[in-house]
Amino acid sequence: MRGLAVPVALVSVAIAAAPVCAAPGTELVSIGIADAQADGGSGHASISADGRFVAFASEATNLVAGDTNGHFDIFIRDRVAGETRRVSIGIADAQADDWSDSPSISADGRHVAFESEATNLVAGDTNEVWDVFLRAR
């Protein structure tokens, strides 16, 4: 009896992320609109596992449009897309009504935990003390 020949196709998929930082060096990531340098202090940075996303706190007003709250906010810089976005935003994308600080980003860059004294990030925050929040992007 002859065996039945079944064609088999082997597909090899290489999943290799391009290095985000190809060469050693230092890069300014607290930049915003049109790659302008921050007009206020920035710090407390946290970086995703692949180096693509950097979360940081800043009091700068020129990292994103409409930042007029006068408080430290939490931002994420996407080093591949060249974009900076504010993370510490509240209900209906309102600006935080008080300070936010100490961001910590997840390995994949999708989640950012941070602390804030703001009372308008979630409904029902009435304790008027620093709380810890988690923002999914």
Query: Using one digit for the tens of pLDDT, what is the confidence trace for 7-19?
Result: 444 333 333 344 4
Number of domains in the chain: 1
Structural domain contains residue 67? yes
Closest by CA to 51, choosing from 105, 15, 88, is 105
pTM assigned to the model: 0.84
C-alpha span between 22 and 44 (Å, rounded): 24
Structural domain contains residue 65? yes
Structural domain contains residue 99? yes
Q: The domain spanning residue 119 has which CATH number?
A: 2.120.10.30
Structural domain contains residue 15? no
**Domain span including residue 48:** 33-136
Is the pLDDT reported for residue 86 higher than 50?
yes
Average pLDDT over residues 74-88: 97
Closest by CA to 53, choosing from 121, 114, 107, 11, is 107
62 within 8 A of 36, measured Cβ to Cβ: yes
Identify the three-state secondary structure at position 77.
Answer: strand
Structural domain contains residue 39? yes
